[in-house]
Structure 1
């Protein structure tokens, strides 16, 4: 029999868990079990260091399914047999007591037997996820490659890990995991893995696709090309069917067309809006004419790429007159109006017969069939920031917002989404002036309290001492909702107020803080500030195309609001051919100038913007998972 110290530690573990016969005592805590040094993981699992969303029922069924593994050879000695039995008990306890499973599997990492270590990988990952040990899960994901896992466990391991990434809204790593699984499985497996891969691919935003980059494995690259052609030819059935045939000829190693994921096949068969004439209702007179003109220019830029005729009508006219003019124009689709009151008067008409893409939010009136709503909603940015904070495992963000209608709407939306994601009440501060902003910074960082303590010490000892101010250490991040001037004041003031011994507080904001004019000046004061912004206003984004250069030549120094409306008009026309597909496949996105656009509820377009950060004197794209 081989001699080692492992059996002694293992016996102690068994006794602590009450797994040896005759041991009826209460199991020892997991922390006591896992204090022995083990490899390759260096830190024992503790109580959950971060709140994570529990696995859904469907994912739990995948996670906990027992996979028959290849039979091991006859045990070499009593130690190996004991470890086999222990591993079997750990797998059996997974669904009911993942903490116990984690303790056993954590210890089995140091087994002398390679078969035990390999078959331990899947239940170790499952129990780490089930017990919400996020740091340990991240360690395992980084240290274990798919080829380390026994073939019998490999598919389950990849699906569990991809499910975890989906729960963390980490679409890039979920996609990478499923692409790796597909590369190993090839076409031999059932369609489940490929269906999951396709569902994950269509969720990717434009920035996430850029982050994913070109894939080395030919199957992975073929899937990305399939995604590109289905999105590029959406709305043109003949074109997409021909493109699929060409794709199959280039990639014969992928499934045949009739064996592709069902959504791909349905997409090529789904009819789309393909209007030759479109009526556009915009404010073309009066004080808001400049807004209508900006949207009109964007529509015209998009129309140059399509064979469509646009008929522009002033939306200020009465509803009945608008309806008559649209009918006389013999159009098949309507875009607009832009203003809320103009949309309401059209929605109240009993016999509005055209499919319509309104350029504002849904409002209080119920949406009718073939009515869609596209708004540059600030709430979308607040919801996206909640996702970013969850991805980075922030637990105690501070929300600071300006007291105005937009700031209050964004703050309320952030608070509600944070609560829905499982977070505790957000520490929130509001301000109405720059002076109030400076005061609340001292308040929530508790810098004033630190200064008062220093003064009290000086008073008690009767002499002056030099004391370093200390700020709070429990804040993860700050979400600031402010205009460019307020933001430019806030960021450097935070930097000088936070204690030099404390880690730098990450500060996030929305596109409300962005100013193209400010970007042309020195940006040192904003270094490190991260914001959500539409691709059209980010020079480094993938959409920095000849259209951007042509726009800058024609409309130099145009203010941000009009630039946003130009991008909105462009995307509105491009969306028309995608709406039917997006209604049937909600995860499908159109990557436009204003962001990645999806149809959330069959009627409302939701945007995912690009994450950018001020670095080296300019606003640059960033990896949303970066610390």
Structure 2
């Protein structure tokens, strides 16, 4: 990290040579003087800055320059910002270069809104190629930091094109561009495969990276073809190291698999479901040997069994407490492992991954769809318990990044509390009060109808299957007939295959996210579902979902290395589309379905990465340009 920042300092400092207020000979002499001052004083950035505040004229400016360079080297971003604001008041300073320094300091501190405002203010003043390139590069970094990968790539490509045309060496540009580019899906890459030769070169390199990863011979040949097609391309600077890394990424060869699941105690039935899913997947992926171990054994007993078995890979444990005990004992530190749950502690090995049926994934997916469609005022209904409160809090925190409008929240304690919660949120109770007041003024009967509030444009239900079937009728009767029907959404908790056998009527129109495995007739593995139904026709929903999770855990073993290298790469499983984040956590994208005419139908709902609030003005400005 420090080497990266030092190189950043060197290149940014090179912008000074482009200043219209300093000639080359003076710049060289000034830098020599700055170096002498720093060496003689043996001072750090803070003391140089304090010293500069007590100086005047050229001495002050020279000390501020030196303090600015030292602040970057020492990673003192807040101090760098102060120094640059001090220099901003000096007429002889290259103001554009100095503003770029301020934006750099702000991005490093996570002040992305301020940085973007600063960069936007510079757009009309940019003339020099060095300034244009750094402006585009820093703008791209702001977008990338917010997960806006497609928007970031637009600016990365412009920075790379300008740098190439003007023979500029911009520190870390190629590395950061490549890191962001390889997070895009193949579909997104294809959409970028146009424009300049520089842009097409980057995109084709990333496509080769995805297509041939895990095939060393084909990858090496593809890279050689790319080098012949794009001679002198800036991406060549990331090739030598990356090529070696990619060639070494071979599919994982697992011959001896150990599976840690509950085989005793209160969760033994969950362990049975996991074992069934594992065995079903092994029918398509035969191994030399598989060993099932009770995760509730002591760490010593588990370690002894693993030592005797000599496993290539471990799947499990399921329970967080057992993951924690094995992590603390470092029992699995040297063995590639796919835990069947999340873990709040520190990841002790890059070979450890975490796979859970995490409801937050569904909440995030629903939120992104709401923003894509343009819903502005969601209403959330959730049980007043730890799970409901956690998911509502997660939705709220994410929503605040993208909207100033606060969602309406309704917690219900039990089924008796649901009508009151809904009528209060929709303000139907206030409408009824007004109607009664008006009726009291007249002796004759007054025709009336209650009105619900009209600003709520979508409802998201976070209750279970029984609660959802009670909530939806209340919503149907309490929304005013004068208003359009509010779209209703729910998570997979609302769906139960067991309850659906006898009751789909009350849910007509409801959209929900669900594992593909739980949607009849929608799977390529149709025979697998038929076999499951024949063997376990009355299995609880949780056991069916755990079956799907363990089935996918085994099925993706051959792809797990590639998934961990390419964050945009997905595995199409029966539990959803799976990808691996940088922290080793498997994230899921579920299927959308809808209750319609007493049936469940798969639907395609638009979902895009939303734009954070502070980027809206910048995005509008870019569009107008």
**TM more than 0.5:** yes
Q: CA separation in 2, counterparts of 1:233 and 1:299? A: 28
Contact 1:231–1:590 under 8 Å retained in 2: no
In structure 2, what is the equivalent of residue 504 of structure 1?
485
Structure 1 residue 582: Cα displacement: 4.2
Counterpart of 1:591 (choices 572, 595, 613) is: 572
Partner SS, residue 325 of structure 1: helix
Change (3 A) 1:350 1:202: closer
Deviation (angstroms), 1:229: 8.5
Q: Which residue of 2 aligns with 1:35?
A: none
Answering whether residue 600 of structure 2 is matched by residue 618 of structure 1, we say yes
- Render the CA deviation track for 1:10-55: whole Å, top value 9, x for unaligned: xxxxxxxxxxxxxxxxxxxxxxxxxxxxxxxxxxxxxxxxxxxx98
Deviation (angstroms), 1:408: 2.7
Q: After TM superposition, list the pairs within 5 Å mapping 1:388-537 onto structure 2.
A: 388-521=369-502, 523-537=504-518
> CA 1:601–1:423 in structure 2 vs 1: closer, same or farther (change >3 Å)?
farther
Relative to structure 1, is the Cα distance of residues 266 and 243 closer, same or farther in structure 2, using a 3 angstrom cutoff?
closer
Secondary structure of residue in 1 paired with 2:338: strand
Deviation at 1:287, TM superposition (A): 4.1
What are the within-5 Å matches in structure 2 for residues 333-352 of structure 1? 333-350=313-330, 352=332
Higher mean alpha-carbon deviation, 193-202 vs 453-462, is at 193-202
Q: Closer, same or farther in 2 for the Cα pair 1:473/1:453, shift >3 Å?
A: same
TM alignment of 1:146-185, pairs within 5 A: none
CA contact (8 A) 1:519 1:618 kept: no
* 1:166-201 CA distance string (max 9 Å, x none): 999899x979999xx9xxxxxx999x9999799568
Following the alignment from structure 1 to structure 2, what is the Cα–Cα distance between the partners of residues 414 and 554?
Answer: 35
- 2:189, 2:505 → 1: CA distance? 30
Query: Cα offset for 1:265?
Result: 4.9
For 2:401 and 2:368, how far apart are their aligned partners in 1?
Answer: 11
Residue correspondences, number: 475
1:242 equivalent in alignment to 2:218? yes
Aligned to 1:321: 301
Q: Of residues 517, 526, 542 in structure 2, which corresponds to 1:548? A: 526
CA–CA distance in 2 between the matches of 1:247 and 1:539? 43
Q: 1:413 Cα shift? A: 1.8
More deviation, 483-492/418-427: 418-427
**Counterparts of 1:307 and 1:378 in 2: how far apart (Å)?**
32
SS of residue matched to 2:342: coil
Contact 1:175/1:201 (8 A) holds in 2: no
Contact 1:170 / 1:391 at 8 angstroms: preserved in 2? no
The CA distance in 1 between the partners of 2:329 and 2:174, in whole Å, is 48
Q: CA deviation at 1:233?
A: 6.6
Task: Tell me which protein shows more helix as a share of its residues.
Answer: 2
User: Does the aligned pair in 1 maintain the 2:381–2:462 contact within 8 Å?
Assistant: yes
Task: Classify the secondary structure of the residue corresponding to 2:440.
Answer: helix
Question: Is the CA contact 2:189–2:203 (under 8 Å) kept in the aligned structure 1?
Answer: no
**CA distance, structure 2, for counterparts of residue 570 and residue 224 of structure 1:** 34
Aligned equivalents of 2:209, 2:348: Cα separation in 1:
28
- 1:293-352 Cα distance to aligned partner (Å, 9 max, x none): 222232233334435342222222211010010011011221111122222221121454
Gap regions ≥5 residues in structure 1: 1-53, 67-90, 96-158, 182-187
Structure 2 segments unaligned to the other structure (5+ residues): 1-110, 127-136, 159-164, 168-172, 609-625
Task: Tell me: CA distance 1:475–1:323, structure 2 relative to 1, closer, same or farther (3 Å).
Answer: same
- Going from structure 1 to structure 2, the CA distance change for 1:253 and 1:271 (only over 3 Å counts) comes to closer
- 2:462–2:491 Cα contact (<8 Å) kept: yes
Distance of 2:563 and 2:204 partners within structure 1: 19
Deviation at 1:409, TM superposition (A): 2.4
- Matched with 1:538 is 519
Distance 1:528 1:372, change over 3 A: same
Moved more, 252-261 or 570-579: 252-261
RMSD: 4.8
Report the counterpart of residue 288 of structure 1 in structure 2: 267
- Contact 2:355-2:585 within 8 A present in 1 as well: yes
Distance 2:346 2:397 in 1: 23
Q: Is the 8 A contact 2:515 2:590 kept in 1?
A: yes
Could you tell me whether the CA contact under 8 Å between 1:202 and 1:227 is conserved in 2?
A: no
Contact preservation (8 Å) 2:428, 2:451: yes
Deviation of the 1:496 alpha carbon: 2.0
* 1:267–1:596 CA distance, 2 compared to 1 (3 A): farther
Secondary structure of the equivalent of 1:561? Answer: helix
Contact 1:169/1:391 (8 A) holds in 2 = no
* Cα distance in 2 between the residues matched to 1:329 and 1:260: 45
Q: Distance in 2 between matches of 1:255 and 1:623?
A: 42
Match of 1:299? Answer: 278
Residues 174 and 238 of structure 2 are in contact (CA less than 8 Å); yes or no, is this contact kept in structure 1?
no
Specify whether residues 329 and 213 from structure 1 end up closer, same or farther in structure 2 by C-alpha distance, changes over 3 A only. same
Contact 1:380–1:607 (8 Å) recurs in 2: yes
Q: Residues 213 and 199 of structure 1: is their aligned pair in 2 closer, same or farther, counting only changes over 3 Å?
A: closer
Q: What is the rounded CA distance, in whole Å, between the counterparts of 1:533 and 1:325 in structure 2?
A: 37
Question: Partners in 2 of 1:226 and 1:306 — Cα distance?
Answer: 32
Tell me how far apart the structure 2 counterparts of residues 168 and 233 of structure 1 sit (CA, whole Å): 29
1:277 aligns with 2:256: yes
Over 3 Å counting, the alpha-carbon distance change for 1:348 and 1:197 in structure 2 is closer
Q: Secondary structure at the match of 2:416?
A: helix
Aligned to 1:99: none
- Closer, same or farther: CA 509–361 of 1 in aligned 2, 3 Å: same
CA contact (8 A) 1:168 1:390 kept: no
Alignment partner, residue 54 of structure 2: none
